Structure 1
Amino acid sequence: QLNTFLTNISNVPMNFRDVSDVRSILQDQTQVYHNLQNYSQQINELVTRGQEIMKLPLVPKYVQHDVQNTQKVYNDKIQS
C-alpha cells in the first residue's frame, strides 16, 4: 500500500504538490461556485420578471427574445 501511495503522489501534477497551491486553487474554485450561485439567483429573478412582463399587453417581441437569450447565454456559460 505504501508503494502505491508513493507512486500516486509522484504522479500528481507539479501544480498540486505545494499545499498552499492546493489551498489557493480550492479557494478559487469555491469563489467561482459562490459567484455562480449568486448569478443563478439573479438570472432566475431576471427571467421571472421578464416572463411577468411578457404577459402584459403590447409588450415588444424583443423582450421575449432578450429573456430567452439571457437564459441561453447563462446556461451555455455554466456548461463550459
Structure 2
Amino acid sequence: MPSGVRGGAHIDIWTDARDRIARAPSSMSVIWQRALAVGLFTAMGAVLAVLVTRLGVHRSVERRRLEQWTRDWALTEPGWTRRTA
C-alpha cells in the first residue's frame, strides 16, 4: 500500500499469473520507445556485421591479389631489368 492513502480508498493492485503482486504494465509510449530502441540497435548491429564481414573479405581478397602479383612480378622482373635473383 502506498504511503499517504486514507483508509477506505480504492487502489489498483496488479498480480501475475500466480497471483503475486506485480508492477503495473508499461504505458503504450514506453512500449513503443522500447520497441524502437530494440529495432534500431538490431538494425545497427546488422549493418555493423555486414561492414565487418565486407572488410574481412576485402582484406583477404586484397592479400591474395598482392601475393599473386608478387609471384608474377618475380617471374617477369628478370626479363625487364636484366637482374638475376
- TM-score relative to the length of structure 2: 0.49
What is the RMSD of the two structures over their aligned residues, measured on CA atoms? Answer: 2.4
Residue number in structure 2 paired with 1:47: 56
The higher relative CO (CA closer than 8 Å, separation ≥ 6) is in 1
Does 1:7 pair with 2:15?
yes
> Tell me, what secondary structure is at the counterpart of 2:15?
helix
Q: Which runs of 5+ in 1 are unaligned?
A: 1-5, 59-80
- TM-score relative to the length of structure 1: 0.51
Rg (Cα) greater in structure:
2
Tell me the number of residue pairs that the alignment of Structure 1 and Structure 2 aligns: 51
Q: Which runs of 5+ in 2 are unaligned?
A: 1-13, 71-85
- Which 4+ residue blocks in structure 1 deviate beyond 6 angstroms? none
Shift of 1:11: 2.1
Residue number in structure 1 paired with 2:31: 22
More helix, by proportion: 1
